């Protein structure tokens, strides 16, 4: 779809040829606004059926998305969406495929991103497919296997940062400005790709009442709300499901801000769930706004509960899943929400 970009801080408006995801006037993050009425999509058979609800570009149709939804073995109203069935074993591929395609379109030779691991793995993979170099800044908590995966999948220069995701993010932004690389990560184009999860969920079961998502940078959370609002405006759905946003008790800046009705404050991450160890979520304020509009809730879960879910997941399905991913099952168990629910199992890079 045709679109323009708007700065969420200073309100500046840019055309779709603006080759940055950050406002060069004030450093604020940009948002994609579509022009024209939103199309009502048909039932999705393939990730690229959703091109109609993405920023227009010359995408290459790589295989991804359309991940399985399975029934929970424990709860009759709960289904699990297995995002680790994507090429780099996490939901990140949906955003990277869109974002890296835009970098290619703008003529960049190199992409850069900060990450706790998965996003760097996925961005490096798509950079390789599109014939670009990748530079990744990895937080110090990233597990060794994720770093091995990044090395195995493409041509990335890896910098392990002496600090957390927020520090890595600052370094990636500086690198992009200094070296002329396209800044990837949890920004507007990734958000557009992540919307596809909610579309697939509503296609798999239009009666879904609750969608449960983990929160790191809150890109998935704000994308889920954006997708639901689009589906409502196009008449694809009549009632918006509730979104349940989950963080670890040991890193819960968004949950705290939601509960205290305050602005998000940086919190030093101290969780074993390495993927969601993000002290200041980039899309946090937007995520909270989405939760309010979708009558959603934000909940924290204990480290122990995620560890138990991970073991149960392996026992019940014979599959590995990351702590961050199974936080959504822990949240379901804690809240036992009414009605049919889908917990997004975001990744399996353990």
Q: Does 331 bind ligand F0G (CB under 6 A)?
A: no
Q: Which of residues 55-94 bind ligand F0G (CB under 6 A)?
A: 90, 92
> Does the footprint of ligand F0G cover residue 141 (CB under 6 A)?
no
Query: Which position has the token pair 């997004």?
Result: 344
Binding to ligand F0G by residue 118, rule CB under 6 A? yes
Backbone angles phi, psi at 115, to 5 degrees: -165, 160
Our CB check for ligand F0G shows the closer of 67 and 217 to be 217
Residue from 54, 82, 85, 119 touching ligand F0G (CB under 6 A): that is 119
224 counts as binding ligand F0G under rule CB under 6 A? no
The nearest distance, CB 348 to ligand F0G, in angstroms, is 8
Residue 17: exposure state from Cβ atoms within 10 A (0-12, 13-18, ≥19): exposed
Which of 80, 100, 275, 288 is close enough to bind ligand F0G by CB under 6 A?
275
Residue 115 is a binding residue for ligand F0G (CB under 6 A)? yes
With binding defined as CB under 6 A, does residue 284 bind ligand F0G? no
Query: Which residue, chain included where needed, has tokens 């690389």?
Result: 181
CA–CA separation, 334 vs 118, rounded Å? 27
Instruction: Give the CB-side neighbour count of residue 344, counting CA atoms within 13 A.
Output: 31
Judged on CB neighbours under 10 Å (0-12, 13-18, 19+), 42 is exposed
Determine if 215 is a binding residue for ligand F0G (CB under 6 A): yes
Tell me if 216 contacts ligand F0G by CB under 6 A: yes
322 sits near ligand F0G (criterion: CB under 6 A)? yes
Q: Closer CB to ligand F0G, residue 79 or residue 215?
A: 215
In angstroms, what is the minimal distance from the CB of 86 to ligand F0G? 11
Residue 153 touches ligand F0G, criterion: CB under 6 A: no
User: Counting contacts by CB under 6 A, is residue 124 touching ligand F0G?
Assistant: no
The span from the CA of 29 to the CA of 295, in Å, is 25
HEC sequence for 147-188:
HHHHHHHCCEEEEECCCCHHHHHHHHHHHHHHHCCEECCCCH
Contacts of 36 (CB under 8 A, 6+ apart): 1, 2
Q: Which of 117, 193, 253, 296 touches ligand F0G (CB under 6 A)?
A: 117
Residue 131: Cβ within 10 Å count: 9
Q: Is 212 in the site for ligand F0G (CB under 6 A)?
A: no
Q: Which of 134, 197, 228, 278 binds ligand F0G (CB under 6 A)?
A: 278
Answer yes or no whether residue 217 interacts with ligand F0G by CB under 6 A: yes
How far is 310 from 313, CA to CA, in rounded Å? Answer: 5
Q: Does 346 bind ligand F0G (CB under 6 A)?
A: yes
Backbone angles phi, psi at 259, to 5 degrees: -70, -35
Nearer to ligand F0G, 6 or 186 (CB): 186
d(CA 28, CA 42) in angstroms, rounded, equals 35
Q: If binding is defined by CB under 6 A, does position 96 make contact with ligand F0G?
A: no
Task: Return residues touching ligand F0G (CB under 6 A).
Answer: 90, 92, 115-119, 186, 214-221, 275-276, 278, 322, 324-325, 346-347
């Amino acid at each position: 779809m045709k679109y323009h970009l708007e700065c969420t801080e200073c309100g500046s408006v840019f055309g779709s040829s603006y080759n940055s995801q950050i406002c060069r006037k004030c450093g604020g993050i940009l948002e994609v606004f579509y022009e024209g009425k939103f199309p009502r999509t048909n039932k999705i058979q393939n990730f690229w059926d959703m091109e109609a609800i993405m920023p227009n570009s010359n995408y290459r149709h790589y295989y991804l998305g359309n991940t399985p939804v399975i029934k929970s073995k424990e709860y009759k109203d709960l289904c699990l969406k297995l995002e680790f069935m994507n090429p780099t074993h996490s939901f990140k591929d949906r955003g990277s495929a869109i974002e890296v395609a835009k970098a290619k379109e703008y003529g960049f030779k190199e992409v850069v991103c900060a990450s706790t691991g998965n996003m760097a793995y996925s961005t490096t993979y798509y950079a390789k497919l599109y014939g670009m170099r990748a530079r990744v800044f990895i937080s110090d908590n990233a597990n060794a296997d994720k770093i091995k995966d990044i090395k195995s999948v493409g041509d990335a220069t890896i910098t392990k940062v002496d600090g957390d995701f927020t520090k890595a993010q600052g370094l990636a932004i500086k690198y992009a400005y200094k070296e002329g690389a396209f800044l990837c990560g949890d920004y507007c184009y990734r958000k557009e790709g992540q919307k596809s999860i909610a579309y697939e969920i509503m296609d798999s079961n239009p009666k879904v009442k609750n969608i449960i998502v983990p929160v790191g940078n809150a890109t998935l959370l704000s994308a889920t709300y954006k997708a639901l609002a689009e589906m409502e405006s196009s008449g694809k759905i009549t009632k918006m499901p509730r979104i349940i946003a989950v963080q670890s008790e040991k890193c819960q800046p968004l949950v705290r801000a939601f509960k205290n009705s305050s602005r998000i404050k940086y919190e030093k991450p101290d969780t074993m769930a390495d993927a969601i160890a993000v002290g200041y979520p980039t899309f946090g304020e937007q995520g909270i706004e989405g939760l309010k509009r979708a009558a959603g809730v934000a909940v924290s879960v204990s480290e122990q509960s995620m560890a138990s879910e991970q073991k149960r997941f392996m026992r019940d399905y014979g599959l590995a899943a990351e702590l961050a991913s199974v936080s959504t099952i822990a949240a379901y168990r804690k809240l036992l929400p009414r009605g049919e629910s889908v917990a997004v199992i975001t990744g399996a890079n353990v």
